[in-house]
Structure 1
């Protein structure tokens, strides 16, 4: 079928794209317009200059979501609308590529933009006012640089102007940069906005303008160019990299070429030989014979001479193998539908071609009369695309041409995407395990996911939730987890966040619709939650605890088996097998404690792998051992030995002890046990939550006394009197074992329930501590109080309960200092699994955490799917640069002599600040600080200096070093300027 590309021409994948063209607000609408065969040519808006010639114009070209990109009003107003369109389009193209634009900050992403319009600069200069923003807002170089600046992209940033071929040349350069290793992701795009009538006059005087404003490519009625607007951006990666990383690929760019007409019949005249050579060179570089090209998206301006030269040059390239072709070469040109979008024309044709290859059909050309008979297309084995043209599912090749006024020509050769990269399988292989290490008995992983979406404002979030809800409602269950993974990967974590767990499209759609209709305000997410892990104590165990999570999560399974292996030398049956078998032996102390330790270790390590990392730990009784491992005061093997020996020694103690939950206060409880030497205070869990522990007969006597006082008591189902004097017989034996374990210092704040406070620097968890731990009171309330009172940097915003069911969360809510700290449980019972973990991740993400989402999903579900693009706000609009301001007007006649009045100084300063910052004068209070409140930077300060000098010419040139000292607040600047004006008058 053709020659293989050379080793230096690696194919490039189109992994993302977005566009706006006349009549089309995105790629989907663009495709619908093209497939309809209609055109989008209409009346020229008043804002596009004095010409009345129709054309293809964008709706809402003056709208810009400036708050989303954190662009101040004055700066946004000065920005060329082309910059604004490119910013939004680039963001959406990156999202379409499955990449969060925010996560690309600081990375070597290239930016290549084609444009040929200076209309905005001319309009700005015509307004009679030049400011520092004139250069950054109107300079053509800033089209690419604005994207790189706002998104913090560090690769090459180049604006290309080769007239009509600009954006296809930009694509050519972007592909070259990827192949040269200058970037590993590149944006290539083009933009065109008609903000004036200069090109209209040029086209008219050159005889190139179509009177009705319509391009009619290859038609007998072709009579010139009709102008159009538009913006398109594609995200590019080397195909090998894209396939390796599982990116979805729209289409593949095999090769491209660029050349120049040189000295031809005229600097604006097309050149047959050069067009022929650029097409042939691109085919040669792609390793493709011309006979393999199924269709060409032509330049097709609809000028009689241009169309004829282009057909002749195509005929030259494809003539030699015309007899070998199975079908005529199909040609079309999108300019018939949307007009000539000039600097964006090549991108308009490229995106049309990419969509055609992806959908497997070429749209028909917009009808505009009979074919030009002078072109003799049939004789040259060519045909216009009058009806949708079906394409082969694999191996289809297509060409895109773009020729610039001035002689720079470009051509690209594209191909369909590899089958394994262009679509997602409907379902995972039947019976596929959740992970490679899963035993055969493990059930297939359910399709559960956490869908995330965010925006800069609650209104924007609701708007986008509606769009996503409509999309999800049309999907099937096979895509759910992949859709959720894509949302985690491709959507930036902005301040207003939505996150929810779901296991069906119906549930997810319902939650998205509900979120869109939520009347209460979405809170702003914190920068980063500070988390504390709280490990449960004995009593939370049950047969088959965490079995669901073991079956569903490879990560959890790995860590539970790791803990079980560490305990293996001290247990008859591996702990994880005993748990999963539903063995009631899990309630025997010698088994309970190792089992709880293993579960807690595995849960905590799983959360940490998911990016949920504790800033502090607290453990209730046996929970302190897993807490010590997480705080790196014990290693896993040593902790396993201590836990197993502890449980075994306790089980060997005589039975006959018990525990009694009471509502007695600590002082009252102390009085009750004072005369009962076999009873101790087992735990102080919170207000009205005191547990007594000891001899059963003594506990019965205490219970009677408490009930006589009206205080309820509840005996606990335990085998022994833990944390009581009855533990004494085992202490010496245990201490001898513990003495052989190295003492450790926690690397995290460790809020001890033995001490009732955080361990001090240098305080160790040694044999003495772990021995005391056995019979000492569990001072949980004190430990939680100390946790809540931590220094601000380490004070927890959330407590995550680590255990097989929630026990501590309710206790924490009853402890006053911690009452407002959310307590989240990762397990709620035997049926708990990934869904409950997902609930925790969703809540923490809403509150500011950015989890390691990849760990949550099985490998089979980590495949991108296409999602609807972010919908930007169109509320803010601007089509003018900075208007003339009264601040620069001449002074009133009665103030031309002498020092300006204080009111005039105050008014002048506030007007200047309002002009520089943007907004209404009444919004600016004199107490506002330039840096902290108004966000002034060096460029804004220089503009402020200039405007004050214009407003108050009598002061002369202000000294910036002197002025800086007074730039604390608006009030301080007013005072400084008044002093300077008084001094000037005195001179």
Structure 2
């Protein structure tokens, strides 16, 4: 069939079928993150230079990453031995993808098991060639650590992704083709989220030689696209990842959107003038196909990020093809088509070249301006740009001024003829947040080590001060979602960006060594009794927390049939009536129920509850022993009946202990011990005359006494006239065995198994002594890690410090005084998060704050560095590829294939030990521990002496099936007298290093005898 130069017109991609870029990360020469990349492209400096000193490329120039050998294996749960065998491209992709996912506002762990696709564009396979050059150094990890196919698969494996996973190699267009395939997978519902990636690391020099011999290499190592000085390719390195989701899905879920991909296309040059020669018609066709698919007219395309290698032939053909597709040949343009190429700044990043251009344009769309980048030289007049209504971008291009219909293109052409083009548009305009934030947020940050936490605190502090105040709570929510899962934790509550920045700076500089949270805290709730009430209590919390507001209204509604008025309104009006017993008790119950429910909704699930007098009712509801409606009826009846009793009684607080007052009280039939709160904290109750006589004797004995301001003598014989009426009102309340341990202050200990707080219990409670000290003792028999006081102000906290069993247990209070509001509530959550709690963060925020605000990316540790370990054969191979090079890089005097910090699971990494160490003597009584330790160290990357025999293969050392096969192989090499081992027989011994040593010793003992 004759060839046609007319592009077929594919069906346009309607807006609802567009793809959103919802997250990204990158690292290019001179730019370790997206913000630095955008700054670089707005400057005048390029990044071409000599290789970093850690490289084994002698004399070559190019654009190189400064820290391509740095990796953070501990953070990602990878042993140092495995990390040493991994292609640096794998390592870069893992960290870059992690940050891109977090940039979406999604914790990477949340993607486990999801239909997330991984599409990686790469063409470099230097690592595999160098690894296979040394047969003696080949291990099972050589297969998983090298080869282009493993780039995508490693990423999918590490994050447990179940969508499509493939590495694309179409030479220089690889990563843009990967983006095209990812978009198609989303359009055809193969995946819900796609990670499209590009990566390139220059290790060998074979491609340098190819470029030189083909006349494609720039003499100074720099690409100069569309310039008179253009003389060829300058090689570069980099990695980039964009997270893609269908636009309608992104909008529906409120995902942040950087830019929108409206159309993409891929084609082939076919049989052009040589397999490496570009083809004008094919380039025209691919640009036109992407434009039509995007539903855009040629004049809408305002800028094209060109392939722009800086070769005379390539630049000319690209300009001609763009003229055919978008320029004057398509009709008059009101504004010229602007051109540029990121290769002028960071070189030709080969398999990652399309990603370098795409990330540039996504950032340009996000910021509303295309950066001009460093100028490659003087415009090549032979290209005839002006007559084609085209121009090289020399000044920032303000896309925002072009309107929402403005589009830009990104091109990437492969050396073998595979071409790709994308058409992008701006993100849809987001609606400004309306309303006020419900509460100050809790900003959280975590890392796997204290050093990493401090590093990240400094980075976040530098950015916090520039956060708009309207975004502060949303920023805190974002940090909760994506930066809170690691063991070393930090949390702070801040009301302004300035306050947040200062807290982060202070923590980074002065925070003591953070202790990694090892287990979730166990929190007990202690409910305050009567006497803590005051007018307007919790008004600030009611105003600022919708969560608390809703629960207080629920309690008020449950009480209203018995109180006749909304209790919450009476509380908030500041009425002094709150001190009347008939109002006090329902009001305290409502406040305590609402506080406790608010905390449980935030993830504070109490391990036990205890209540002081009236506080027991809310405690019973939270524990599951009473329904809200039943508790409300009992509380309202209790308060009303007590208020109806004749006045005249009183209460007396004394420093005497209970045993020191009981004989005095026994002589006064109308008095009683009302409460034993703590050592030296006893409360007496009864008629005033009897209390006066008891007080006189106590003070004569040196005990201080304080009369309490009360309306009635609670927990005394003076309560008996109301008991029958209360019992009648309580009849029918059965209660239920509490689901949470309920430590009764009536019994001074936990309720008996299957016992329920029923009508009889609540009737008994009225005159009974409050045995708070005893109940706290039982609560702390298995001590909680924290006690949270549930009440309008802290009363029990001071008592807890005086009780020996509770001393040293942190006591927290979400309400401290009349001004306490959402901030104090958030501070309790923040403290518990730092101590290991994983709260239900979402409930802390108002609807308007439940959105993602982008944070500076996570800072990975760079202390561990490694290139390929040195072996004689590999050294010779490298010498052949890079004259004068060495196989193993050095950093600060250390051989960087050796670990410089602890690896995960407590195993310290180091270079692999030789397998010719002398074996220890074997006898019938001993175990060959030294030999076993050496073999295990060779696999996990540790010093043999650091491997304890109790370390477990699966839980502690992270062994998998590949490692088990390597273990079997190495054992056979080290102990040849064993012959070939049977893996099924070995499995029962693969519990710990010690159990394996015992197994091996058992096999060797007959031979030794």
The TM-score, its normalising length taken from structure 2, stands at 0.91
Are the counterparts in 2 of residues 322 and 381 from structure 1 also a CA contact under 8 Å?
no
Deviation, structure 1 residue 287: 0.7
Task: Report how far residue 480 of structure 1 moved.
Answer: 2.4
Q: 1:11 aligns with which of 9, 18, 26?
A: 18
2:62 maps to what in 1?
55
CA distance in 2 between counterparts of 1:866 and 1:390 reads: 23
The offset of 1:646, in angstroms, is 0.5
What's the CA shift for 1:9? 6.4
1:185 and 2:155 matched: no
| Residue aligning to 2:935 | 912
Instruction: Report the counterpart of residue 400 of structure 1 in structure 2.
Output: 410
In 2, the alpha carbon distance for the partners of 1:741 and 1:320 equals 87
Residues 114, 730 of structure 1: alpha-carbon distance in 2 compared, 3 angstrom cutoff? same
**Distance (whole Å) between structure 2 residues aligned to residue 197 and residue 280 of structure 1:** 37
Cα offsets for 1:217-253 (capped at 9, x unmatched): 1222222211110001112222222222322221111
CA 1:606–1:907 in 2, change beyond 3 Å: closer, same or farther?
closer
Separation in structure 2 between the aligned mates of residue 34 and residue 6 of structure 1, nearest angstrom: 31
1:958 aligns with 2:981: yes
The SS at the match of 2:284 is: helix
* 1:134-173 correspondence runs (5 A): 134-173=142-181
Question: What 5-or-longer segments of structure 2 have no aligned partner?
Answer: 1-8, 873-910
Q: 1:145 to 1:713 in 2, by over 3 A?
A: farther
| Maintained 8 Å contact 2:922/2:928 | no
Which residue of 863, 867, 871 corresponds with 1:879?
Answer: 867
2:298 is matched with which residue: 274, 283, 290?
290
C-alpha deviation, 1:159, in angstroms: 1.8
| 1:941-964 CA-partner distances (Å, limit 9, x unpaired) | 321222233344454323334444
Q: CA deviation at 1:974?
A: 4.8
Label 1:278 to 1:932 Cα distance change in 2 as closer, same or farther (>3 A): closer
**Per-residue displacement from partner, 1:393-426 (whole Å, max 9, x unpaired)?**
43221000111122221111100112217xxx5x
- 1:440 maps to none
CA distance in 1, matches of 2:54, 2:566: 77
Question: For 1:908-987, what aligned pairs fall within 5 Å after superposition?
Answer: 908-925=931-948, 928-931=951-954, 933-970=956-993, 973-974=996-997, 976-977=999-1000, 980=1003
Q: Would the aligned equivalents of 2:329 and 2:388 in 1 still touch at CA under 8 Å?
A: no
2:927–2:998 Cα contact (<8 Å) kept: no
2:546 corresponds in structure 1 to 554
Paired with 1:904 and 1:488, the residues of 2 have a C-alpha distance of 49
Query: Which of 705, 713, 730 is 2:697 aligned to?
Result: 705
Residue 816 in structure 1 maps to residue 804 in structure 2 = yes
What does the per-residue CA deviation read over 1:451-484, in whole Å, with 9 as the maximum and x for residues that have no partner?
1111111111111111111222334533322322
Q: Is the 8 A contact 2:286 2:420 kept in 1?
A: yes
Question: What secondary structure does 1:538 align onto?
Answer: coil
- Whether the aligned pair in 1 keeps the contact of 2:176 and 2:421 (CA below 8 Å) is yes
- Is the deviation greater in 307-316 or in 541-550? 307-316
Q: How does 1:388-537 map to 2 (within 5 A)?
A: 388-393=396-401, 394-395=403-404, 396-420=406-430, 425=432, 432=435, 448-537=440-529
Kindly indicate whether the alpha-carbon contact (under 8 Å) linking 2:627 and 2:735 is maintained by their aligned counterparts in 1: no
Partner of 1:216: 224
CA contact (8 A) 1:184 1:237 kept: yes
- What is the distance in 2 between the residues matched to 1:984 and 1:299? 69
Alignment pair present for 1:775 and 2:767: yes
Q: Structure 1 residues 413, 547: closer, same or farther in 2, change over 3 A? A: same
Q: Secondary structure at the match of 2:17?
A: coil
Aligned to 2:719: 727
CA distance in 2, matches of 1:433, 1:113: 43
- For residues 212 and 88 of structure 1, what CA distance do their matches in structure 2 show? 32
Change (3 A) 1:497 1:251: same
Within 2, Cα distance between the matches of 1:902 and 1:789? 45
| Match of residue 206 from structure 1 | 214
With 510-519 and 261-270 compared, the bigger mean Cα shift is at 261-270
Match of 1:255 in 2: 263
1:98 alignment counterpart: 105
Q: What is the deviation of 1:890?
A: 6.2
Distance 1:561 1:9, change over 3 A: closer
Aligned to 1:758: 750
* Partner residue in 1 for 2:236: 228
Structure 2 residue 72 is matched with structure 1 residue 65: yes
Q: In the alignment, does 2:21 pair up with 1:33?
A: no
Give, in angstroms, the shift of residue 975 of structure 1: 5.6
Q: Given that residues 680 and 723 in structure 1 are in contact (C-alpha distance below 8 angstroms), is that contact kept between their aligned partners in structure 2? A: yes
Hey, what's the Cα distance between the residues in 1 that align with 2:127 and 2:926?
37
Task: Within 5 Å, give how 1:839-854 maps onto structure 2.
Answer: 839-854=827-842
1:574/1:976 Cα in 2 relative to 1: closer, same or farther (>3 Å)? closer
- Report if aligned partners of 1:92, 1:869 keep a CA contact under 8 Å in 2: yes
Q: CA deviation at 1:982?
A: 6.8
Which residue in the other structure is 1:442 paired with? none
Query: Partner of 1:324: helix, strand, or coil?
Result: coil
Q: Does 1:23 align with 2:30?
A: yes
CA contact (8 A) 2:488 2:517 kept: yes
In the superposition, relative to structure 1, how do residues 756 and 171 fare at CA in structure 2: closer, same or farther (>3 Å)?
Answer: same
Residue ranges of structure 1 left out of the alignment (5+ in a row): 435-444
Tell me how far apart the structure 1 counterparts of residues 174 and 394 of structure 2 sit (CA, whole Å). 28
Stretch moving more, 148-157 or 159-168: 148-157
Shift of 1:193: 0.5
